[in-house]
A and B are shown apart, each in its own frame.
Chain A
Amino acid sequence: MSGHSTYEPKTGFTRWLDSRLPIIRLGYDSFVDYPTPKNLNYWYTFGGILSLCLMTQIITGIILAMHYVPHVDHAFNSVEHIMRDVNHGWLIRYVHANGASMFLFAVYMHMFRGLYYGSYKAPREVLWILGCVIYLLMMATAFMGYVLPWGQMSFHGAVVITNLLGAFPVVGESITTWLWGGFAVDNPTLNRFFSLHFLMPFMIAGVVILHVWALHVTGQNNPSGIDPKSKEDTVPFTPYATVKDGFAMVLFLILFSVFVFFQPNALGHADNYIPANPLVTPAHIVPEWYFLPFYAILRAVPDKLGGALLMFGAIGVLFVLPWLDTSKVKSLRYRPTARVFFFLFVLTCLILGWCGGELPDKMVFQVGATAAGDPIGLNFVWLSRIASAYYFAYFLIVMPVLGLVETPDAVPDSITASILDHSAEKKGLAHAG
C-alpha cells in the first residue's frame, strides 16, 4: 500500500483480474513485497499472533453458537451439553474460553511493546488510536462472553459491571434499564449480550483492517525507532517476517495448548460452574485476570462514580498518549531514564492485577496492631491507591515532563547503524558478564 507496487500478473487470468479488481496486487503489496525493518525482534510478532487469536475466536465462536442456547433456563446446561455430547465440543469450548485469555495476554504484550519503542508517536498516532479502539471492543466482547455460560460469576459479574453505569448522575438509571432490557440482569440481558458478543468480533475485524491499513501507510516502527532510510534497512515481508512470525505463532500455540489440554480451568473461577442464582451472591466476586488491574483502580476510590470514572479514565488516557509524550526520541532504547519509569509502570500494572484479585481489607504486610486489635500495615486498597496514582502519573506527569528534561543517549543514523551498535553493545555486556 505504501510506495510503488512491484506486482506483475503472470497468467492470463491474473492479468484479466488485475485490471478489474487488483485484489491479488493488494495482497502481494501488503504481505509479500511489503518492506519491513530488518531489526524487528520477537516483541513484534504479537501483531501476527493477535490476528491468529481473532480468527481462532471467530471460528470456535461460530461453532459454539450452533449449540449454545441464550436463555436463562438453558444456557448453563447447553454449555455442559457442548462439553459432554457435542463431538470435540470440549475442545472447541476450551479453545474459545482460554483463547480469550491468550488473546488479551497477546494484546497486553503488543501494547507494552508499543509503549516501549514509542510506536504511538508521530506519524503513527491514528494507528495507535485504532489499536485502543480494538482493545476497548475486545474488553466489551470478553466481558459479554463471560456472561454467556450463566454461572454464578457470569451473573454477578454482569450485575457489578452494569451497575457501574448506574452511578452516572441523571442518565445512569435509564442507561442500565436500557442495557438490561428490564429492571435487573435477566433473560433479556443474556439474550442481547449473546447478540452483541456475536456482533463485536466482526467490528473488531473491521477495525483491524483499518489498523493494518494505517500500519502499511506509515510503515512499521522498529526497536531503534528510526524510520528506514534506504533499501538496506528493510527486508521483504515474505519470507523474512512470515517465517519469523510463523515460528513465534507456533511457540504461542504451545503455551495456548498447555492451558487448553492440561489446565483448562486454571484461568477461570470455580463459582462459574455453579448455575447463576440471583439470590445467592458469591463470597468474593472477581473478574477474569485481564480485568483485574482496572478492577483494582475501580475499588481504589471510595466513591462509586469516582471509581467508575477513574477506571474508564485509565483506558481513556491511552487515546491521548501520542500528545502526552514530549520526547523527540521514539525508542526507550536510547532513553535510559524513561526506561526506569517504564519498567516501574509494568510493575505497577502487575501490582494492580494482584490487588484486583485480593479483598481490599486484606493486609499486604502487617507491622503491628492497635490497642483495639486492628492491624497496622499496608492493606490492598491502599496498595491499589498507590499503584493507581503511579499509573496515571506515568502518563500525565512522567511522559510530558521527562521528554523535556532528560538527556537521551545518542541515536544512530540508521537502522543498519543501530544493528551494528546493538550487537556490539550485547557483546560488550557478554564480556562484562
Chain B
Amino acid sequence: MLGKGFAVSAVVALLVSTAPAFAASSGGELKPFSLSTDGPFGRFDAAQVQRGYKVYREVCSACHSMNLLSFRNLGQPDGPFFDAKYKNPNDNAFVKAIAKDYNINDIDTETGDVVQRPGTPADRFPNPYPNEYAARAGNGGALPPDLSVITKAREGGPAYIYSLLTGYHDVPRGLEVPAGKYYNPYMPGDLSSFWSGDKDKVPAGGFIAMAPPLVADKVSFDDGTKSTLEQQASDVVAFLDWAAEPKAGERKRTGFAVLIYLALFAGLLYASYRRVWKGVKH
C-alpha cells in the first residue's frame, strides 16, 4: 500500500509544508534581483565584490559596523582581493595596504596609554562609533545595524537589501513623515496611523531613519563601470552577501564532490541490494 511513489510524495509534501515558516514580511513586493553567485552553479565575481567593497567603505562604513569581518578576509580564497601568490592572506600586499589606511585604537604596552597605530590584515573592520549610545546619538536615536550577516538576517536576503537601497520613493500624498525619518516602500512597518487618505489604501512599507544613502556617481569605480544607483546598490549587495558567508564558495564546491560521491555510492549499494536479494521473494 505505502509504495515508493507515496514515500517520495510524502517527503515532498512535508518539505513543502514547511514553507510557511519563512513567509515574507509585511514590506512591499521585492524587486527582481540576482547575483552571479546564485544557485549551485553560481560563480564568484571578484570585480563586482571589489566595487561593492568600495561602496561600503566610502558610504556605508560611515555609520555601519561590520564587526565580524577582518581585513585578512578580503584576501582569503573567494575573497575580493584574493591573490594566489599569497597563501596566507595576512601577507597579501593589497590587503595590507587597505588595512594600513585605517588607524586602530590600541594600548601601548609600555605605558598603558591608549594609542593609535596603523591597521594590519589581522585587525577587524573598525567600528565607526565608540559605542551604541554614540551611534544612536549620531543617527537621531536609531542604531545602524551591523552589516556582517545582513543579507542572511533579513527576509528576502540580497533582493530585500537591493530593493531597500534603490526603493526610496516620493512620499505619497496623505502620508505624514516624522522628522528625521524617510519613507521606503520596502521597509517593514505599519503606516496606518500616519495616513490620512483612504483607510483601505494605506501605502506599503514603513519609515527608515537612514537617508537615501546612494545616488548616481556618488562612488567612482576604478574599473570604469558606470556608477548608476542600481550599479552601486547591486555591487554593495554582492559585497555584503559575500561578507555574510565568506566560505559559501567552498561550501558549494564541496557539495558537488559530496553529491557525486553519494550518487556513485548509491548506485553501488543498489546493485549490491539487487544481487543480495536476487531470488528472494519479498
- Residues of chain A whose beta carbon lies under 8 Å from any beta carbon of chain B: 38-43, 77, 80, 83-84, 90-91, 94, 105, 108-109, 112-113, 116, 223, 235, 239-240, 243-244, 246-247, 250-251, 253-255, 257-258, 260-262, 264-267, 269-271, 273-274, 283-284, 286, 288-289, 292, 332-333, 339, 346, 350, 353-354, 356-358, 373, 416, 419-420, 423
Contact = CB atoms under 8 A, between A and B. Distances in A.
A425 to B, nearest CB: 9
A242 B38 CA distance: 39
A419 B26 contact: no
Contacts of B25: 283-284
Interface of B: 1-2, 4, 7, 10-11, 13-14, 17-23, 25-26, 40, 67-68, 73, 145, 148-149, 152-155, 157, 188, 200, 244-247, 250-252, 254-256, 258-259, 262-263, 265-266, 269-270, 272-273, 276-277, 280-282
Nearest to B277: A240
A172 B152 CA distance: 37
Given A247-B273, A273-B152, A419 B14 contact: no
A353 B17 contact: yes
B282 to A, nearest CB: 5
A284 B155 CA distance: 12
Nearest to A151: B153
Contact of A270 (B7, B26, B152, B255): B152
Given A254-B262, A265-B152, A350 B68 contact: no
Which secondary structure dominates chain B's binding surface?
helix
Contacts of B155: 270
Contacts of B244: 273
A247 B270 contact: yes
A24 to B, nearest CB: 23
Contact of B157 (A264, A270, A420): A270
A78 B224 CA distance: 40
A50 to B, nearest CB: 15
B23 A274 contact: no
B153 A350 contact: no
A304 B252 CA distance: 45
Contact of B18 (A262, A289, A332, A419): A289
Contacts of B7: 42-43
Contacts of A274: 145, 153
Contacts of B73: 84
Contacts of A84: 68, 73, 246-247
Given A247-B269, A257-B262, A289-B21, A273 B149 contact: yes
Contact of A90 (B148, B149, B245, B256): B245
A265 B244 CA distance: 12
B68 A77 contact: yes
A270 B251 CA distance: 19
8 contacts: A42-B4, A84-B68, A94-B251, A243-B269, A253-B262, A261-B251, A262-B40, A350-B14
A84 B157 CA distance: 19
B26 A283 contact: yes
B273 A270 contact: no
Nearest to A350: B17
Contacts of A288: 21
Contacts of A420: 281
Given A84-B246, A262-B40, A292-B21, A116 B255 contact: no
A251 B8 CA distance: 11
B259 A286 contact: no
A303 to B, nearest CB: 25
B105 to A, nearest CB: 19
A91 B149 contact: no
A282 B9 CA distance: 34
A354 B14 contact: no
Contacts of B21: 267, 269, 286, 288-289, 292, 357
Given A253-B262, A254-B262, A261-B258, A243 B251 contact: no
Contacts of B262: 250, 253-254, 257
Given A42-B4, A261-B259, A235 B246 contact: no
B162 to A, nearest CB: 15
A129 B227 CA distance: 66
A357 B255 contact: no
A305 B40 CA distance: 47
A298 B107 CA distance: 54
A261 B18 contact: no
A400 to B, nearest CB: 23
B270 A83 contact: no
A43 B17 CA distance: 20
Which of B22, B23, B259: most chain A CB closer than 10 A? Answer: B22
A80 B251 contact: no
A239 B273 CA distance: 9
B18 A80 contact: no
Contacts of A373: 200
Given A43-B2, A108-B14, A246-B269, A273 B251 contact: no
A370 B23 CA distance: 28
A223 B282 CA distance: 11
Given A243-B269, A261-B259, A354 B282 contact: no
A287 to B, nearest CB: 8
B4 A109 contact: no
Given A42-B4, A262-B252, A357-B19, 19 more contacts: A43-B2, A80-B68, A80-B148, A83-B245, A91-B254, A243-B273, A244-B277, A250-B262, A251-B266, A254-B259, A254-B263, A261-B251, A261-B254, A262-B255, A273-B152, A283-B26, A350-B13, A354-B17, A423-B281
B273 A244 contact: yes
B209 to A, nearest CB: 15
Given A80-B148, A84-B246, A250 B1 contact: no
Contact of B282 (A38, A116, A239, A269): A38
B18 A270 contact: no
Nearest to B73: A84
A286 B266 CA distance: 36
